[in-house]
Structure 1
Amino acid sequence: MPKASPSVRHAVRLFSFWLANRTVGLPLLDGVDYSAIFEEPSALEQAYAIFMNVLEFDDAGIVQNARHAERRAAQFIRRYVEPSYIVEPPFEDWEVELH
């Protein structure tokens, strides 16, 4: 059975570390207290879903766009804690889909 490549595992681990360390999505989330996302499991789930849905990798499993996937997740987080924040470009359905 295929498994996530080391590159994909690294990208997810690093995203998780930055998220928990309150340093994800810099500079977009610099100075933004997003600790509320840890109080709402479905919001945290949505942030991970966006990150994973946007993440792309090549045939060898090498991640191609980790920073972009992180930024899109960070945009969701910012909108979650700051409802007036406008996500540009707006999320597409496939980006926010929960599997």
Structure 2
Amino acid sequence: MHLTNHSFLFTVGAVLAFAVHVDVAAVDLTAVGWVFMLVAVLATVLEVAGRRSRTRALQAQAGVQPLPARVLPARVTPSTAPWDTREFRAVQRPAGES
């Protein structure tokens, strides 16, 4: 089952347990609702645990290393290429301009 099915099963169980007040001779609908909700919660827990273990197994099989907590930026070095002729000069402005 998928998580969508689990949530649907939980919703149906909650409706049966809390909202339906019908007397059926052979079945206790409140108990059926609680069973549906319990099954949905257990299936969700098992599905999440299964996905986690499959992800770890696939990463180990592929040799993927976990990312470091912080990646430092690359250091910027000035260009020393002969064609890079940029010169930075201070701009002289007249005293009256701002």
Classify the TM-score, shorter chain: under 0.3
Instruction: Give TM-score, length-normalised by structure 1.
Output: 0.26
TM-score when scaled to structure 2? 0.27
